[in-house]
Structure 1
């Protein structure tokens, strides 16, 4: 246990009360940076510093889609970031409350997710890792932004319909009864915007299904800046960082994406699944009766999903992978997919099993991360309060 603590020395946190006017001015100028253009990786030494923010819900063990769409990408961002880039990764507990949760299970899930983030390779000495629900600035900013967000923009959001459909095991979003929609699930995109804008994030890594949310975040930031324009625009309009991995679909219903909340556990591969479970679930994945293997998401979604998973594991183009299996059958493809997934998950799974028992260490990482996040976002919240007339 002691060895784990010595890996990450205590972080020095300067309280807002001790920050000098000059330091506060410098911090505020950092938050005022204008949006950045994405540049190629070979120009990292020349580009302006970035503030990268991303979050993941604590409910449910991360699956293949979460791993390749978020967690593995976080590790790449951390590896490729320039020394002056800031990276903030959050476990977004408040978002979990948009659907009913068992309190004890949610409390345990928060710690489990922190262990998983560390297990895949996120380093708290380099990146700020924290629980969103331990930084009250998120909810305060969300309320202020919700008072500026037109309800029409929220009605056009589609994610809440998908989440309700999955939670109710409905086959189609049209089957979802709108009366089941709570206010939190309807308005959570505003909280998501606050998560990002509280830190002056310049870049947000998201999958294709989250582009609508980032567009709304930019719209909300623009509305605030036009409503309170002086002395200069305050909220940064974050840039999209589209994750390279394609969307990974349910193993049982390849018409929908893989989900932590899907009722059928065989529809997903979780980061903690054993090799035996992985092989069983891949073997039972929905495919088709067409001979040969081809990549055709429209006509052969199940087969194409397996090729996408294999390409994500081997870090290859899916067309290249498909060409190798042109003369093979689904049995050979499924066997290789299972082996590739096990190879990708074996290391993180072992590290997770080691970390999950070190609760004091996980709590310390979370507390230090929250302190850093609070200090960073305090600068923004003080200026927001001043502009709207609350300070």
Structure 2
């Protein structure tokens, strides 16, 4: 009962960024899976930019590239290295300023993996088994269990255990707030549980219980199949708009986007009009408007063609300067290296201090 009561008070959802206290620590990472797309941008990176630009949160934000998580599915070394650079270039071109936040590669701070082991020792296999993401990434059914012999043999240990590394990522900086998407909410609940367990075992209040930062942006769906999330891994690349896409490519992809056969007024109805609603949601995210405000602004649009032309213009206007900056950054790898090296030093300064204190708490000093 005590644990449930503590968790209920800690799972506070922050919807207004200005309500985040100035003594907070904001933390989030993005996987290096190549150039970021519209869903990544609206679901995470645009919010990171907003948070780091708030005067009371300046230099309170730690953002970076989760390259250790990326190898749960092995990649060629040359491919992973390029993806890591692409991720940093994408973050910078999206407007993140390394003078206002820490930008770094997760693997460059070894304290992540040390804390990962300490937390692994207090996390149950049952909790890991109940996580849903390892099942989808291991191509297992929702009701699969790691105790099944076939599942056990085909599932890599890193895929099952990586939520503990995610927890270590958050807690090594004593983070107080984490912006997450729907697909990560279960992992943040586990993070709170493990932080509370550590504090209980070692009779301390060392780890703050991280709160969720929720934003008004909804999940951006596939342009070709608005019943699933926009994803780089979609075999139909017309379903996904990248920040590096040319204006011509953006127009073509939006033109081919799935809508419906309903003619006339444009309105938001995710059940009956998922394709149209997805396009409305994209505009709302880019322009920082509510759905009602966005629909009202679109009231002059009379058909699907006008809607798609309008959405294309909005995306092109947002992404064109980013595309140009991205190309500049990718042509200057030395600059990108200097950014992550600077971020590494700042991140390590925090992580080294905290890991020394953690060692003392558990008797490893």
Distance 2:300 2:33 in 1: 39
Larger mean Cα displacement after TM superposition, 87-96 or 77-86: 77-86
2:113 counterpart residue number: 139
Distance 2:301 2:15 in 1: 40
Cα RMSD after superposing both structures: 2.5
Shift of 1:364: 1.2
Shift of 1:316: 1.6
2:251 counterpart residue number: 279
Shift of 1:103: 1.6
User: What does residue range 106-255 of structure 1 map to in structure 2 within 5 Å?
Assistant: 106-164=80-138, 178=151, 180-229=154-203, 232-255=204-227
2:289 counterpart residue number: 316
Q: Work out which of the residue numbers 326, 348, 354 in structure 2 matches 1:352.
A: 326
Distance 1:83 1:235 in 2: 20
- Asked whether the equivalents of residues 204 and 238 of structure 1 are also in contact (C-alpha less than 8 Å), the reply is yes
Larger mean Cα displacement after TM superposition, 192-201 or 154-163: 154-163
Q: Work out which of the residue numbers 361, 367, 387 in structure 1 matches 2:341.
A: 367
Deviations 1:234-289 (A, max 9, x none): 11111111122111011122111111222321111011111111111111112222
Distance 1:121 1:357 in 2: 18
- Asked whether the equivalents of residues 49 and 84 of structure 1 are also in contact (C-alpha less than 8 Å), the reply is no
TM-score, normalised by the number of residues in structure 1: 0.83
Larger mean Cα displacement after TM superposition, 35-44 or 377-386: 35-44
2:4 counterpart residue number: none
1:337 aligned counterpart, secondary structure: helix
2:26 counterpart residue number: 52
Distance 2:144 2:191 in 1: 28
User: Are the structure 2 counterparts of residues 335 and 161 from structure 1 closer, same or farther at C-alpha, using a change threshold of 3 Å?
Assistant: farther
2:310 counterpart residue number: 336
User: Are the structure 2 counterparts of residues 48 and 270 from structure 1 closer, same or farther at C-alpha, using a change threshold of 3 Å?
Assistant: closer
**Length, aligned pairs only:** 349
- Asked whether the equivalents of residues 36 and 202 of structure 1 are also in contact (C-alpha less than 8 Å), the reply is no
Distance 2:267 2:239 in 1: 22
User: What does residue range 298-317 of structure 1 map to in structure 2 within 5 Å?
Assistant: 298-317=271-290
- Asked whether the equivalents of residues 35 and 202 of structure 1 are also in contact (C-alpha less than 8 Å), the reply is no
2:343 aligned counterpart, secondary structure: helix
Distance 2:339 2:164 in 1: 27
Shift of 1:174: 7.6
1:194 aligned counterpart, secondary structure: helix
User: Are the structure 2 counterparts of residues 299 and 242 from structure 1 closer, same or farther at C-alpha, using a change threshold of 3 Å?
Assistant: same
Deviations 1:11-48 (A, max 9, x none): xxxxxxxxxxxxxxxxxxxxxxx97975956667xx44
- Give 5+ residue unaligned stretches, structure 1: 1-33
User: Are the structure 2 counterparts of residues 42 and 73 from structure 1 closer, same or farther at C-alpha, using a change threshold of 3 Å?
Assistant: closer
Distance 1:143 1:182 in 2: 17
Distance 1:66 1:382 in 2: 35
2:237 counterpart residue number: 265
1:289 and 2:244 aligned: no
Deviations 1:40-91 (A, max 9, x none): 56667xx441111111011121110110111111110011141665111111
Distance 1:63 1:164 in 2: 23
